[in-house]
Structure formats: C-alpha cells, structure tokens
Amino acid sequence: MKWWIATILVPALAWPSDNARSQADTVFISNPSFEADVALFSQDTAGWIDCGFLSEAPAAVQPGQYDVRMAPKDQRYYMSLVVRENYTWDAIGQKLEKPLEPGKCYEWTVYLAQSPHYVDYARRHAGKVRYNNPIQLFIWGGSGFCQAGQLLAETAVVKHKNWQAYRLVFRPQKPVYYITLHAYYLNPLAAAYNGHILVDNASHIVSIPCTDQPEKPLDASKVLTLSPPSLEALERYIALHGPHIIFSSKKLELEEKADTDFFRPEYLSYAHMSVIAKGLRWFPGQKLIVGIKPRPKRQLDARIAYISQYLRDRGLKPEQYTVVVYEKTDKAAWLAESPNIALRLAPVGESERGGE
C-alpha cells in the first residue's frame, strides 16, 4: 500500500493566523507549543503522552536538559526527541478532538531544529556521548494512543541549527483519531545511531482542498514502529532485533553492559527484546516461540524460566509466548537466531516444538 506524503519547508510568516481559519475546518491540537506545565505524559490528560520505550527515558521538555540551551520558538518550552544506537527512539502522541476524515486533505505546520549540543548517557559506552546526528520526523495516524496505523507525513532530515517551519500535508485513507510524532533514523536498516530533533510551535490541523497533483509515495514497510502495521512488519522486527539478543556470560539475565568475555557493541538485549514484545501485543492471534540454545546446559532451565518471566512482565498473555529448548532441525523455521536464542511466530494454538 502507498502512503501519500508531502513535506514543504516554508518561511516563518507564510501562514494565516488560526483566527483566519474556519473553526469548522480545524482540528485543534492540545498544547501545540509543548509547554512544560501541561506536557504531562499521561493518557488521562488531553495533552501529549510518551510513546517511547519503557527501557529508556521519555522525550524531554527543553531547554535545560542534555546540554540543550536553544531559545524556544514560541512561549517558554519545546520538546526534544532522540533516536539511539540500540534501535530505540522517542515518540509522543495525543488524541485529536475530532477525527481526520478519509478522502479529505489537511495541512499542519511545525517548527523543527537541531541543537548545536546534545549529550546523554549511552549504555554501550557506559558514559555520556553526543546525540548530534541528524534525523527526521514521522507523523502517524491511528485509532489508539501511540498506534502507527497510517503514515501521514515525513520530513526531510533535519540538521539546521535554527528554527524552521515545515508544512505537512495529510491525506488519510481511513479515520484518524490519534496522532503520533516519531523520531526516526535516516536509514535504520543500515545502522542505528544517536541523534536528535527539536520540536516547537505546532499549528492546529486545518482542512484544505485536495490537489490532483500526485504526491511522492513513501514505502512505509521499511519503517520500524512500536505498533507494527502488519504481520509481515512484525516478522521484520524479529528478523532485525532477534540476532542482537544474548545472555550475559556471568549472570542469569540478558546482556546489557560490556562484558570482556562475550560482548558485541550492538548487543543491548533488553532494548531489542522490548521492541519485539511490545510489537507482539498488537497481534493477539500470534504467539512468539523462543528457542533457548542448550549451551551451557546447566543454565538451560533457568534461562527458559527467566525469558518466560521477562515476557510476562512486558504484558504478554500466557498464550502469546512459549519458551522451549532449541532444536536445530530446520534453520529456515526460525525468523532470527543469536548465539543464545532463536525466535519465530506461530498462530496461537500451534505446536510448541523448538523446531520444525
């Protein structure tokens, strides 16, 4: 399926005020300037909520954190969103006061920038690193909080160090009740990296006439999100993240920090397993089969129990996962393998063997 997008960089004073627009054609955004006193990340409020990873810090209200000191574009505060080299990223979302309707066109303007400095902790390096690489912003529409249902728009890669306005044109294919702003890599399938983007002074969403000029289509199948849009996308998640999940060689838990005996920089296993578990929750008819490799044999039973508890703690129902002893009978049966585990999907109720 093609997701139609349009992104135009515009001068700061190119747009009429909200008062000049018809309220009947306007979908109002709550807290469009990301002010700290109402930027409460809770689904019980009307403002923005955190849609990122439980294993990571939420998106930050700026300025003043992570060495970010740029003045806001509007009022007192703005947001920073980051991507990380462990394949995690920031995202925020909110419920719209009324839905975007399919077949109509809308425009939304937001100011974006990069800070000259952005320094935060990185587990891989066990210390602070720069998050100065440029990234882009995706806007998703869905039927629930943080749902990546339809890719409504994307920006170009943002690397300018001053506030610039971006006009985004939405053309939804189905009703949109929630929107999500998603920080994203230039090319995550090549390599993840640390980067950031600053967001401020968003407009309300305004209905506009649709044009007959075709817009550039985006291949959304290559986009990683926390709510995979299809079963095929979930399989890609597992194929991408599964090879990076290993156990610590010194204690009974997933590898997280540098281990001189057995460590690879990309093996930040908690984050990779978290992506898979969170994505699986959108597919109640599928279960994850985890095959634990039997070396060392003395840790086999304990590792099976550990992974079972890990998935249970991430909110998966018992019927959505099975942890078994790995059987190397058919390598093609597994979507992904690491030195310690193998992963595949199966419909709920299918055989629970560790191989085919």
Q: Where are the domains of the chain?
A: 3-220, 231-347
What is the reported pLDDT for 224?
A: 58
Question: What's the pLDDT tens digit per position in 237-267?
Answer: 788 888 888 887 766 667 554 333 222 333 4
Residues above pLDDT 70, as percent of the chain: 74
Confidence of residue 143 (pLDDT cuts 50, 70, 90): confident
Cα distance between residue 228 and residue 239, in whole Å: 13
Please state the length of the chain: 356
Question: What's the pLDDT tens digit per position in 273-322?
Answer: 877 887 888 888 999 999 999 888 888 899 999 999 988 887 888 999 99
What is the reported pLDDT for 253?
A: 66
What is the reported pLDDT for 257?
A: 45
pLDDT score of 27 more than 80: yes
Count other Cβ atoms within 10 Å, centred on residue 37: 10
Please name the fold of domain 231-347.
60s Ribosomal Protein L30; Chain: A; (3.30.1330)
In this predicted model, which residue has the larger pLDDT, 266 or 233? 233
> Could you give the C-alpha distances from 32 to 48, 96, 149, 201, 248, in angstroms and in order?
9, 12, 22, 6, 44
What is the reported pLDDT for 18?
A: 46
User: Per residue in 104-131, is it b (16+ CB within 10 Å) or e — as a string?
Assistant: ebbbbbbbbbbbeebbbebbbeeeeeeb
Task: Tell me the CATH architecture of domain 3-220.
Answer: Sandwich (2.60)
What is the reported pLDDT for 295?
A: 82
